[in-house]
Structure 1
């Protein structure tokens, strides 16, 4: 699916293979419409009982193993994702469950489900990655997490960074930026900070950003508005709290959007105090548009920042005071950082989805 993160990366690989003329079998709960229409793609749909991933995972694993064995017997190659399917082939890891435990939220049943799901995913992940012939990680951080969580030798893990859409996510002219802001109803005179991430739990660090924004908005000199892109179980609660705390006009919740590239081209900074991100495609895409991005130093994408942009990195995602200082630094040093952000943008945009897919296929053919 083209919904961002790992789904967007998987779509890019499958689409590149199909366009190169390879027959592609996709074993999944759902796939993007563009793949369903492609004559080289065969979709093996796996049911998801009660629309629950935890109930669908055993089915996905069983069906995936069966098709993997058949595909290898026919001389094909197999790429699994994480703990979805324990097969002796290549495994492309987008997230390491053994590296992060989300704090339980919601009612008792929801918290119990979260704990059971996490144990299941950690166990499945360890089994699948130990069996894989080669593991493809989306960052050095992910490689280190895989080794620490599963005990597989580092020699079996290859790092291939995520690609991107260099045309969709690119710097725009000042005139184009003004036009986009006008179409969105954003005043030209007020800077905009953007948060892009799920609001289902605390992993993306919105709670830290919210507290930092309360402190900044208490000051008369903080003339920056925050736009929040994302949905999740906690979105309505955050919107109510913003209104209750008197910052409802300074924090706007936009929900799920399919025009993130447009929003990035109109914003002034992205803020991502994430507690865990194997990579961080939202930050990558912001940088590709030439937007400075504040992100936790522990996120995989942070390892691509040059020393000149270390002032954009957050050492502790729970540290509200530090985030306030970093946002103040951004206001003060944005102009000085701009050429370094532009250089990083150019570097990241050179790695397209197609070049990423080619690197993965080369690795799979040699080692998978």
Structure 2
């Protein structure tokens, strides 16, 4: 029986990183290992796991910026205690300056956020971003092993000077039972419940609206262009929340784009995707892209930026769905129009891809992750 310490922001099912840590903790617990988790919050599922201990790191005023130094301090405290007993310590990016395993889900140096807000907020966010960059550089240089969530992320690490021999790639898993091609009756029930007509093309966007990284501004421009032509009858379903959500709602209302439905943050994404026809994700930076994988597993063609980590998982038959430039709204509009005219034939390409991706579930990910870690002895460099 081994001992592990996981240091992460949150553990649960809300985001890819949260879900990945829950899956790793579940796997280790089932193996009989002792698992310690330092996090701001932990789901009931985590707390119910045998041999698992949560050490809370408070997040003052709910602020990530204020909570980050607390997470680092609490994480290093437990790392000192547990590493003396031979524990493996898994940190994430620059969230805790400890030199064992670094699970890299995001590289801040690979993307500089762009905020629309005026006043002191953009200035404060830039300062926070610069702090993340400094912590990240230190953490990456100290790590014995870095596990990247895609080859794109691995390349970003190499550009920062991390030796290739210290990097392994392990993709995130998937809940194959939830994200699967729906039956005809399931699909019809969702569409009827949402008021989507049977023949209407329904396109989903899933992502936070806190800044422009996910590319919703490009989606909005493309959608407006399609409607200006007067022949587009689609519905755009936006699942996600964030500081810019109210502004986008108002802009769509003022622009007469009633075909855009802003649903906010949803816990039933799998159910809603079952009633959709495609997904758009012209992201400016995406280390992986779990939402895209979920759409593919559901049987939806997913338009995503070629530079996103998940794009490397697209087989040749789906590469026409890759977007060359996340800024090019016109190209996205043309891609959507072309897809709508042949959507049934495009959809027929998806079942084989869905089946392949759904085999690599969260347990598969956890097994690969642990295998990588255990191949590197404590105190050694791979």
TM-score category (smaller protein): over 0.9
- Tell me which of 65, 71, 76 is aligned to 1:54: 65
Are 1:356 and 2:362 matched, yes or no?
Answer: no
Aligned residues: 366
Residue 223 of structure 1 deviates from its aligned partner by 1.3
Q: Map 1:158-237 onto structure 2 (within 5 A).
A: 158-237=168-247
- Provide the C-alpha distance between the structure 2 equivalents of 1:106 and 1:75, rounded to a whole number of angstroms: 47
Residues 114-133 of structure 1: CA deviation (Å, up to 9, x unaligned): 10111000110111111011
Tell me if the contact between 2:305 and 2:324 (Cα under 8 Å) persists in the aligned partners: yes
- Tell me which of 312, 318, 322 is aligned to 2:327: 318
Residue 334 of structure 1 deviates from its aligned partner by 2.6
Q: Map 1:320-339 onto structure 2 (within 5 A).
A: 320-339=329-348
Residue 40 of structure 1 deviates from its aligned partner by 1.8
Tell me if the contact between 2:204 and 2:239 (Cα under 8 Å) persists in the aligned partners: yes
Tell me if the contact between 1:104 and 1:115 (Cα under 8 Å) persists in the aligned partners: no
- Provide the C-alpha distance between the structure 2 equivalents of 1:165 and 1:349, rounded to a whole number of angstroms: 7
1:136 maps to what in 2? 147
Tell me if the contact between 1:139 and 1:160 (Cα under 8 Å) persists in the aligned partners: yes
Q: Map 1:333-348 onto structure 2 (within 5 A).
A: 333-348=342-357
**Matched residue SS, 1:266:** coil
2:4 maps to what in 1? none
Tell me if the contact between 2:38 and 2:57 (Cα under 8 Å) persists in the aligned partners: yes
Residue 216 of structure 1 deviates from its aligned partner by 0.4
1:306 maps to what in 2? 315
- Provide the C-alpha distance between the structure 2 equivalents of 1:359 and 1:146, rounded to a whole number of angstroms: 20
**Matched residue SS, 1:58:** helix
2:376 maps to what in 1? 367
Report the TM-score when normalising by structure 2.
0.93
- Provide the C-alpha distance between the structure 2 equivalents of 1:107 and 1:78, rounded to a whole number of angstroms: 40
2:119 maps to what in 1? 108
Q: Map 1:38-49 onto structure 2 (within 5 A).
A: 38-49=49-60
- Provide the C-alpha distance between the structure 1 equivalents of 2:33 and 2:193, rounded to a whole number of angstroms: 42
Residues 241-271 of structure 1: CA deviation (Å, up to 9, x unaligned): 1010111x21010001000000111100001
Residues 288-312 of structure 1: CA deviation (Å, up to 9, x unaligned): 0111100000100011111221111
Tell me if the contact between 1:311 and 1:329 (Cα under 8 Å) persists in the aligned partners: no
Q: Map 1:230-249 onto structure 2 (within 5 A).
A: 230-247=240-257, 249=258
| Structure 1: segments with no counterpart, 5+ residues | none
- Provide the C-alpha distance between the structure 1 equivalents of 2:284 and 2:355, rounded to a whole number of angstroms: 27
Residues 13-59 of structure 1: CA deviation (Å, up to 9, x unaligned): 11222232221100111111211233321110011122211122122
Tell me if the contact between 1:93 and 1:137 (Cα under 8 Å) persists in the aligned partners: yes
- Provide the C-alpha distance between the structure 1 equivalents of 2:44 and 2:151, rounded to a whole number of angstroms: 32
Tell me if the contact between 1:204 and 1:273 (Cα under 8 Å) persists in the aligned partners: yes
Q: Which has the higher helix share?
A: 1
Q: Relative to structure 1, is the Cα distance of residues 356 and 307 closer, same or farther in structure 2, using a 3 angstrom cutoff?
A: same
Residue 107 of structure 1 deviates from its aligned partner by 2.9
1:285 maps to what in 2? 294
Residue 71 of structure 1 deviates from its aligned partner by 1.7
1:147 maps to what in 2? 158
Once superposed, what is the RMSD of the aligned Cα atoms?
A: 1.3
- Provide the C-alpha distance between the structure 2 equivalents of 1:350 and 1:206, rounded to a whole number of angstroms: 30
- Provide the C-alpha distance between the structure 1 equivalents of 2:133 and 2:169, rounded to a whole number of angstroms: 21
- Tell me which of 106, 113, 121 is aligned to 1:95: 106
2:29 maps to what in 1? 18
Residue 73 of structure 1 deviates from its aligned partner by 1.4
Residues 332-363 of structure 1: CA deviation (Å, up to 9, x unaligned): 34333333322211111110000100110111
- Provide the C-alpha distance between the structure 1 equivalents of 2:192 and 2:342, rounded to a whole number of angstroms: 26
- Comparing 44-53 with 351-360, greater Cα deviation is found at 44-53
